[in-house]
Chains A and B, each alone.
Chain A
Amino acid sequence: MRPMRTARTALLLGWRLHRAELVAVMIAALGLSIAALSIAAALDQITADCRAATVVVAPCGGLTEMGQIYDSATNTQMYLAMQGLAVLPFAAAVVLGVALVAREIEQGTALLAWPLARSRGRWLAGRILPVALIGALILLVPAMAGDVLIRSLYPGVDPGGNFEGYGIRGALLVVRFGAVLILAALVGAWIGRQLPALLVAAVLAAGLGIGVQQVRPYLFEAVEQPQSIRFIDRVGNSYVATRYRDADGRWMREEDAWELLATAGDRPGPDMPEEVFFAIPRERYPDVVLRESLVLVAVGGLLSGALVLVISRRRPG
């Protein structure tokens, strides 16, 4: 079979074998993208109204030039859409990944396919690559819609240099999808039954999602934020830590600072600790995205090795 024809056949078969799951992912991706874009349009209108208003202070229920929205309905919708975009790559990968191997084993088709393939690694590549490609293409749409949403929420800030909406937009959605897809396939191969594998993979994917959030502060060195920094200059920075400095300029323990602040209550004195924020500057956004992507690619590589090992050893039924 010629390479182009092979690729086309592989994609077509991948689509047919996972049509239900791919359609579900498409519907979710499209729905969230439409939601994000319509909210972006609403935010753009709020911004335009604000700019046109003669009264500067709280003119019109929305201050998107400052990344704040007082339109509670839009605020709620935006919150839900952002949560959905954050969860989408994980959910899509779990649903698609689990079916890759677990369904073959559960339905008994592995008995037919594995001997045909000679090499199980080859079989695995033939199954996982088309689904990964189709899934990645689907996720490009919400990835771009997320960028549009953040641009509308923060009109004065370049989305490429803005940590706001981190993980709900851009290439990171696709990279996260890829890593979790391999994880879900591994779980499916290990357990060999779709629904139990779905449960376990969902829990592990949630763990991975929490893990990548915890890792972010370590991906780039945070810098101390000047006390006098303007709002417009600090929006988009990634705040990773808060420390306290005593009146002599020495760093103090958080518990000691809280105790002093709690004791002072409404009557703070000159010896009160100074709260100091550390943030990764927003200009470093591309670097952090790249580094997280590399971490995920490394994790994906390890998981791929484990997946090949599990499938090689596994009985097909």
Chain B
Amino acid sequence: MQRFELRLLIGAALVLAVAMLAIAGQVRAVRADELACLAAAPPAVEGSTDGRCLEFLGARDLLDRATLATGAGALLAPFVLGLFLGVPIVAREVEHRTAAIAWTLSASRRRWLVGRAAPILVAITVAGLSVGMAGEVLMRSAPWNEGVDASFDFYGSRGPLVPARALAVGALGLAVGAVVPRQLPAALIGGGMVIAFAIGLAVVTDEWMRDATVPLPMAATQGAARIYDMGVQDDATGELISLDEAYAEHPELMETGEAPGLTMIAFVVPGTAYNTFVWRETAILAGGAVLALALATLVVRVRRP
């Protein structure tokens, strides 16, 4: 029944995954060539890399942009997959007036729902998984992540979060489509709920991050960590104050980035916290998916076809 959407969206997800892998491959190849060039070319000025191997600049710029673009696609993919494949499962059946015949042909409505929803939710999850795995490969290939093991980079565009979000949104779409049996309004309401849920999750994640931050001097921040906030430390007392307060008391700080007796501080979430955040969010999403599926089952059992 959803052949067009399945082909289009699952196909697009797989194309995205393949594109990400191809870009990762290209990034590695270009970087390898660039490193070889830098090793072979003597520096113009001792200790400087300026002006050498400039022929790689264009390719790197293009690949960086491709990396960011596909990363953004991987961030959006679970929401698009879940919403557009989850909503029509029940909503289209009711809107097309085929629910009456389908629900009476099947031994039970729950069996019907499982038969219809399971393959689609599996397809959503598999597509999300392929995008997530490709995102992981792409993240590790990005030049700014060289030598980095744990990183918050590409958060939400890689790893288990992608299929988890896809499945959760798919389940939510299914539930909304069961309650509001018209596809377009259900898609709009589902989209609104996803945005609200995403904002709520961002607030919760923000709290986790705040709790996990470690203050470090700007010069000592690791590339792998996520800078949550910035502040200023009074060298004499060791007191930490916010940037806004510091700007108000020391206007020259805004102009030059420096002020006597003050050190710029970054509140950093260590990269090693990444897995904890991912599994926490995955657990929340899994719980949400179960609730949504339960609601969908209940609604399908009691509603008029």
- Segment 84-124 of B: residues with Cβ below 8 Å from A: 84, 87-88, 92, 95-96
- Segment 42-90 of A: residues with Cβ below 8 Å from B: 55, 57-61, 70-72
Tell me the minimal C-beta distance from A139 to chain B in angstroms.
17
User: CB of B5 within 8 A of chain A?
Assistant: yes
Q: Note all chain B residues with C-beta closer than 8 A to A107.
A: 95-96
Query: Digit string of B1-30 for contact with A (CB within 8 Å is 1, else 0)?
Result: 000110011000000000000000000000
Tell me the minimal C-beta distance from A62 to chain B in angstroms.
11
Pair A20/B188 contact, Cβ less than 8 Å: yes
Chain A residue at minimum C-beta to C-beta distance from B243: A72
Pair A24/B188 contact, Cβ less than 8 Å: yes
Pair A103/B255 contact, Cβ less than 8 Å: no
User: CB of A199 within 8 A of chain B?
Assistant: yes
Pair B247/A61 contact, Cβ less than 8 Å: yes
* Chain B interface, >50% SS class: helix
Stretch binding the partner chain, chosen from B50-58, B63-71, B133-141, B146-154: B50-58
With contacts A57-B255, A258-B57 taken as known, whether A21 is within 8 angstroms of B188 at the C-beta atoms is: yes
Query: Digit string of B250-274 for contact with A (CB within 8 Å is 1, else 0)?
Result: 0100110000000000000000000
Tell me the minimal C-beta distance from A280 to chain B in angstroms.
26
Pair B254/A58 contact, Cβ less than 8 Å: yes
Q: Note all chain A residues with C-beta closer than 8 A to B58.
A: 255
Tell me the minimal C-beta distance from B99 to chain A in angstroms.
14
Pair B251/A57 contact, Cβ less than 8 Å: yes
User: CB of A174 within 8 A of chain B?
Assistant: no
A107–B9 Cα distance when bound, in Å, is 23
Pair A263/B44 contact, Cβ less than 8 Å: yes
User: CB of B40 within 8 A of chain A?
Assistant: no
* Chain A interface, >50% SS class: helix
User: CB of A172 within 8 A of chain B?
Assistant: no
User: CB of A235 within 8 A of chain B?
Assistant: no
The answer, among B87, B192, B247, for a CB contact under 8 Å with A195, is B87
Most buried by B among A103, A194, A263: A194
Tell me the minimal C-beta distance from B240 to chain A in angstroms.
17
Pair B184/A103 contact, Cβ less than 8 Å: yes
For the side of the interface on B, what is the size category?
20 to 34
Most buried by B among A199, A258, A265: A199
User: CB of A176 within 8 A of chain B?
Assistant: no
User: CB of B185 within 8 A of chain A?
Assistant: yes
User: CB of A259 within 8 A of chain B?
Assistant: yes
- Segment 232-247 of A: residues with Cβ below 8 Å from B: none
Q: Note all chain B residues with C-beta closer than 8 A to A20.
A: 182, 184-185, 188
Q: Report how many residues on chain A are interfacial, defined by Cβ distance under 8 Å.
A: 33
User: CB of A274 within 8 A of chain B?
Assistant: no
User: CB of B33 within 8 A of chain A?
Assistant: no
The answer, among A198, A262, A263, for a CB contact under 8 Å with B184, is A198
Pair A199/B184 contact, Cβ less than 8 Å: no
Query: Digit string of A110-149 for contact with B (CB within 8 Å is 1, else 0)?
Result: 0000000000000000000000000000000000000000
User: CB of B206 within 8 A of chain A?
Assistant: no
A196–B12 Cα distance when bound, in Å, is 13
User: CB of B233 within 8 A of chain A?
Assistant: no
A258–B95 Cα distance when bound, in Å, is 59
Pair B50/A263 contact, Cβ less than 8 Å: yes
Pair A198/B247 contact, Cβ less than 8 Å: no
With contacts A57-B251, A58-B254, A58-B255 taken as known, whether A196 is within 8 angstroms of B8 at the C-beta atoms is: yes
User: CB of A307 within 8 A of chain B?
Assistant: no
User: CB of A183 within 8 A of chain B?
Assistant: no
Q: Note all chain B residues with C-beta closer than 8 A to A21.
A: 184-185, 188
The answer, among A195, A255, A259, A265, for a CB contact under 8 Å with B183, is A195
**What are 14 A-B pairs with beta-carbon distances under 8 A?**
A21-B185, A57-B251, A57-B255, A58-B254, A72-B244, A95-B184, A99-B184, A106-B96, A107-B96, A195-B88, A196-B4, A198-B84, A199-B5, A263-B50
Binding site for A on B (CB under 8 A): 4-5, 8-9, 44, 48, 50-51, 54, 57-58, 80, 84, 87-88, 92, 95-96, 182-185, 187-188, 192, 244, 247-248, 251, 254-255
Ordered nearest first, which 4 A-B pairs have the shortest CB separation?
A263-B51, A20-B185, A265-B50, A58-B254
